[in-house]
Amino acid sequence: MWVQWLLAMTVKSKGRPALGLDEVARTPFVVLPTDIDLLGHMNNGRYPSYMDLARVDMTVRTGMQAALERAGIYAVVGQSTMVYRRSLDLWQRFDIETAVLGADERAVYLQQRFVVDGELHARGIVQGRFIEKGVGTAPVARVVEVLEAAGVRVALPELDERVRDWAETNRLPSNRLPAPSSWSGRTPR
Protein backbone atom coordinates (compact mmCIF):
# COMPACT_ATOMS: atom_id res chain seq x y z
CA MET A 1 0.00 0.00 0.00
CA TRP A 2 2.94 2.37 0.54
CA VAL A 3 3.72 2.37 -3.17
CA GLN A 4 0.06 3.02 -3.98
CA TRP A 5 -0.02 5.84 -1.40
CA LEU A 6 3.02 7.49 -2.94
CA LEU A 7 1.49 7.18 -6.42
CA ALA A 8 -1.83 8.58 -5.18
CA MET A 9 -0.15 11.57 -3.53
CA THR A 10 2.15 12.40 -6.46
CA VAL A 11 1.10 10.96 -9.80
CA LYS A 12 -2.23 9.15 -10.04
CA SER A 13 -4.57 12.16 -9.91
CA LYS A 14 -2.44 14.34 -12.20
CA GLY A 15 -4.11 14.92 -15.55
CA ARG A 16 -7.49 13.62 -14.34
CA PRO A 17 -10.47 15.97 -14.58
CA ALA A 18 -10.88 18.58 -11.86
CA LEU A 19 -13.94 18.13 -9.66
CA GLY A 20 -16.30 20.26 -7.63
CA LEU A 21 -17.05 19.18 -4.06
CA ASP A 22 -20.63 18.47 -5.16
CA GLU A 23 -19.53 15.98 -7.83
CA VAL A 24 -18.85 12.24 -7.57
CA ALA A 25 -15.19 11.24 -7.92
CA ARG A 26 -14.54 7.96 -9.73
CA THR A 27 -11.14 6.39 -9.03
CA PRO A 28 -10.03 3.21 -10.86
CA PHE A 29 -8.20 0.32 -9.19
CA VAL A 30 -7.37 -3.35 -9.75
CA VAL A 31 -7.30 -6.12 -7.12
CA LEU A 32 -3.66 -7.10 -6.58
CA PRO A 33 -2.18 -10.35 -5.22
CA THR A 34 -1.33 -8.52 -1.97
CA ASP A 35 -5.06 -7.78 -1.48
CA ILE A 36 -6.20 -11.43 -1.56
CA ASP A 37 -7.02 -13.52 1.50
CA LEU A 38 -7.10 -17.32 1.85
CA LEU A 39 -10.59 -17.43 0.35
CA GLY A 40 -9.26 -16.01 -2.91
CA HIS A 41 -10.96 -12.62 -2.86
CA MET A 42 -10.06 -9.16 -1.61
CA ASN A 43 -9.66 -9.21 2.16
CA ASN A 44 -12.19 -7.08 4.02
CA GLY A 45 -9.31 -5.19 5.68
CA ARG A 46 -8.13 -3.86 2.30
CA TYR A 47 -11.35 -2.02 1.50
CA PRO A 48 -10.67 0.86 3.94
CA SER A 49 -7.14 1.23 2.54
CA TYR A 50 -8.48 1.59 -0.99
CA MET A 51 -11.04 4.07 0.33
CA ASP A 52 -8.14 6.14 1.70
CA LEU A 53 -6.54 6.18 -1.75
CA ALA A 54 -9.81 7.21 -3.40
CA ARG A 55 -10.24 10.06 -0.90
CA VAL A 56 -6.73 11.27 -1.76
CA ASP A 57 -7.74 11.32 -5.43
CA MET A 58 -10.92 13.24 -4.62
CA THR A 59 -9.16 15.82 -2.42
CA VAL A 60 -6.43 16.39 -5.02
CA ARG A 61 -8.91 16.78 -7.90
CA THR A 62 -11.16 19.19 -5.94
CA GLY A 63 -8.24 21.38 -4.85
CA MET A 64 -8.82 20.54 -1.19
CA GLN A 65 -5.47 18.81 -0.71
CA ALA A 66 -3.33 21.80 -1.75
CA ALA A 67 -5.45 24.37 0.10
CA LEU A 68 -5.56 22.42 3.36
CA GLU A 69 -1.88 21.52 3.18
CA ARG A 70 -0.93 25.22 2.83
CA ALA A 71 -3.02 25.96 5.95
CA GLY A 72 -1.47 23.10 7.94
CA ILE A 73 -4.73 21.17 8.09
CA TYR A 74 -5.03 17.45 7.44
CA ALA A 75 -7.95 15.04 7.46
CA VAL A 76 -8.30 11.96 9.64
CA VAL A 77 -10.99 9.30 9.80
CA GLY A 78 -13.19 9.71 12.87
CA GLN A 79 -15.32 6.66 12.17
CA SER A 80 -16.36 4.44 9.31
CA THR A 81 -18.61 1.54 8.45
CA MET A 82 -18.68 -0.97 5.59
CA VAL A 83 -21.32 -3.11 3.95
CA TYR A 84 -20.28 -5.91 1.59
CA ARG A 85 -22.49 -7.25 -1.20
CA ARG A 86 -20.23 -9.05 -3.69
CA SER A 87 -16.58 -10.02 -3.46
CA LEU A 88 -13.78 -8.60 -5.59
CA ASP A 89 -11.46 -11.19 -7.14
CA LEU A 90 -7.80 -11.19 -8.14
CA TRP A 91 -7.01 -8.85 -11.07
CA GLN A 92 -10.59 -7.58 -11.13
CA ARG A 93 -10.89 -3.93 -12.10
CA PHE A 94 -13.13 -1.79 -9.93
CA ASP A 95 -13.89 1.86 -9.34
CA ILE A 96 -14.46 3.64 -6.08
CA GLU A 97 -17.06 6.39 -6.37
CA THR A 98 -16.69 9.00 -3.63
CA ALA A 99 -19.27 11.66 -2.80
CA VAL A 100 -19.75 14.14 0.04
CA LEU A 101 -22.95 13.39 1.96
CA GLY A 102 -22.87 16.54 4.09
CA ALA A 103 -21.32 17.92 7.24
CA ASP A 104 -21.98 18.92 10.80
CA GLU A 105 -19.92 21.36 12.87
CA ARG A 106 -17.22 18.73 13.59
CA ALA A 107 -16.90 16.58 10.47
CA VAL A 108 -17.58 15.94 6.79
CA TYR A 109 -19.32 12.70 5.82
CA LEU A 110 -18.58 10.75 2.64
CA GLN A 111 -20.07 7.74 0.93
CA GLN A 112 -17.69 5.51 -1.02
CA ARG A 113 -18.93 2.78 -3.33
CA PHE A 114 -16.99 -0.13 -4.83
CA VAL A 115 -18.38 -0.53 -8.35
CA VAL A 116 -17.70 -3.06 -11.13
CA ASP A 117 -19.33 -2.46 -14.53
CA GLY A 118 -21.93 -0.19 -12.92
CA GLU A 119 -22.80 -2.79 -10.26
CA LEU A 120 -22.44 -2.01 -6.54
CA HIS A 121 -20.15 -4.50 -4.70
CA ALA A 122 -19.60 -2.72 -1.36
CA ARG A 123 -20.29 0.62 0.29
CA GLY A 124 -18.64 2.56 3.07
CA ILE A 125 -19.59 5.65 5.04
CA VAL A 126 -16.72 7.72 6.45
CA GLN A 127 -16.62 10.57 8.92
CA GLY A 128 -13.70 12.85 8.09
CA ARG A 129 -12.41 15.10 10.85
CA PHE A 130 -9.73 17.77 10.49
CA ILE A 131 -6.64 18.58 12.54
CA GLU A 132 -4.81 21.90 12.30
CA LYS A 133 -1.12 21.66 13.16
CA GLY A 134 -0.34 23.44 16.41
CA VAL A 135 -4.04 24.07 17.13
CA GLY A 136 -5.87 20.74 17.33
CA THR A 137 -9.28 19.86 15.96
CA ALA A 138 -10.38 22.22 13.19
CA PRO A 139 -14.14 22.75 13.00
CA VAL A 140 -15.78 22.42 9.58
CA ALA A 141 -16.34 26.21 9.51
CA ARG A 142 -12.54 26.73 9.62
CA VAL A 143 -12.03 24.16 6.84
CA VAL A 144 -14.69 25.87 4.69
CA GLU A 145 -13.03 29.26 5.33
CA VAL A 146 -9.64 27.93 4.17
CA LEU A 147 -11.11 26.24 1.09
CA GLU A 148 -13.13 29.25 -0.01
CA ALA A 149 -10.13 31.57 0.49
CA ALA A 150 -8.24 29.25 -1.90
CA GLY A 151 -11.00 29.47 -4.50
CA VAL A 152 -12.59 26.07 -3.80
CA ARG A 153 -16.36 26.42 -3.96
CA VAL A 154 -17.95 24.68 -0.97
CA ALA A 155 -21.59 23.66 -1.28
CA LEU A 156 -22.24 20.96 1.30
CA PRO A 157 -25.52 19.04 1.04
CA GLU A 158 -27.86 18.80 4.01
CA LEU A 159 -26.74 15.87 6.16
CA ASP A 160 -29.24 13.01 6.28
CA GLU A 161 -30.56 12.36 9.81
CA ARG A 162 -29.64 8.67 9.49
CA VAL A 163 -25.97 9.61 9.00
CA ARG A 164 -26.15 12.07 11.89
CA ASP A 165 -27.69 9.36 14.11
CA TRP A 166 -25.03 6.83 13.03
CA ALA A 167 -22.26 9.28 13.94
CA GLU A 168 -23.78 10.05 17.34
CA THR A 169 -24.45 6.38 18.15
CA ASN A 170 -20.84 5.39 17.45
CA ARG A 171 -19.17 8.47 18.93
CA LEU A 172 -16.46 7.89 21.54
CA PRO A 173 -15.55 10.32 24.34
CA SER A 174 -13.02 13.04 23.60
CA ASN A 175 -9.40 11.92 23.93
CA ARG A 176 -9.14 14.44 26.80
CA LEU A 177 -11.68 12.44 28.85
CA PRO A 178 -11.29 9.02 30.44
CA ALA A 179 -12.70 6.13 28.40
CA PRO A 180 -12.31 2.93 30.40
CA SER A 181 -13.08 -0.34 28.67
CA SER A 182 -16.06 -1.73 30.57
CA TRP A 183 -18.09 -4.75 29.50
CA SER A 184 -20.93 -4.31 32.05
CA GLY A 185 -19.91 -7.11 34.37
CA ARG A 186 -18.19 -9.33 31.82
CA THR A 187 -14.44 -9.77 32.17
CA PRO A 188 -12.21 -10.22 29.13
CA ARG A 189 -10.02 -13.33 29.44
Within a domain: 187: no
pTM of the model: 0.90
- Judge whether residue 141 has pLDDT over 80: yes
Q: Find, among 96, 180, 106, 168, the residue nearest to 137 by Cα.
A: 106
Within a domain: 38: yes
Within a domain: 175: no
Within a domain: 16: no
- Judge whether residue 143 has pLDDT over 70: yes
Query: For 89-133, how does the pLDDT look when each residue is reduced to its tens digit (9 = 90+)?
Result: 999 999 999 999 999 999 999 999 999 999 999 999 999 999 999
Q: Is residue 59 within a helix (H) or strand (E), and if so which, with residue range? A: helix 46-62
Within a domain: 180: no
Within a domain: 165: no
Q: Find, among 169, 144, 146, 29, the residue nearest to 93 by Cα.
A: 29
User: What is the percent of the chain with per-residue pLDDT over 70, rounded to a whole number?
Assistant: 95
Which residues form the domain of 139? 2-10+21-160
Within a domain: 32: yes
> What Å distances lie between residue 75 and 32, 89, 135, CA to CA?
27, 30, 14
- Judge whether residue 5 has pLDDT over 70: no
**According to the model, what pLDDT value does residue 11 have?**
66
Q: Domain count of the chain?
A: 1
Residue 17: pLDDT band (50, 70, 90) is confident
More confident residue, 136 or 3: 136
Residue 54 sits in a domain whose CATH number is 3.10.129.10
